[in-house]
Each structure stands twice: as structure tokens, then as C-alpha cells.
Amino acid sequence: MWWRSYALQQRQESQAACQRAKDYFQQAIAFFQQAEREDLVSKFINYKAEVLHRLSQWQELKQICHQALPLHQTQGDLFRQARTYGFLAEVALAKADPTTAQQ
């Protein structure tokens, strides 16, 4: 999470810091998946989605959102689920697909 905060504070190094944050979140998520801790995967997957959004990596963001939604539904985490739908809307807008974004 430090890299994510650092990226926000240091605009010049934002791209590199976001890339590092993405890598660290991916490692954490893989570890939690291996440990069968879906609760933690559900918690941290949106942090990775936020970083992907900042990096404008729309295809990967879409994929991670489709991974995240079932987790949030299983965990009953409506806030994270809503945030994930927001990310999917951002992907649709970035791809100039306003109809999908409205859904």
C-alpha cells in the first residue's frame, strides 16, 4: 500500500511507483490465493484494480474486475462490489462504450 500512496504524492515517479504497487499487489493476491484466504484476496484485489486504473491498463483491469466480482459476492462485500462495477464502467468509458458504462 505504501507504493500506492507514494505514487499519489510523487507525480514524477507515479508511473514507476504504480507499476511496483501493481507487482506487489499481484504477489500478495497470489500468496492469499495459495493460502486459500478468499477474504484477503477479496480485500486486496480492488487495490490492484485501482492501480491498473491509474495505469490505464484497461484490458487487465477488466479481467481483474471479472475475478473480483464473484469474490465480493461470496464475501457479501457490497462496497467493494460496487467499486468493482465502477471500475468496469470506467473500462467501458475508456473504450468509448457508453451503453455498457451506463449498465
Report the number of distinct structural domains present in the chain: 1
**Domain range for 95:** 2-102
Q: Which element (helix H / strand E) includes 11?
A: none
**Residues near 100 by beta carbon (within 8 Å), at least 6 away in sequence:** 88, 89, 92
DSSP, collapsed to helix, strand or coil, labels residue 22 as: helix
Residue 46's CATH number: 1.25.40.10
pLDDT, tens digit (0-9, with 9 covering 90-100), for 82-100: 999 999 999 999 887 666 6
Instruction: Tell me what percent of the chain is helix, strand and coil, each rounded to the nearest 5.
Output: 85, 0, 15
pLDDT, tens digit (0-9, with 9 covering 90-100), for 48-85: 999 999 999 999 999 999 999 999 999 999 999 999 99
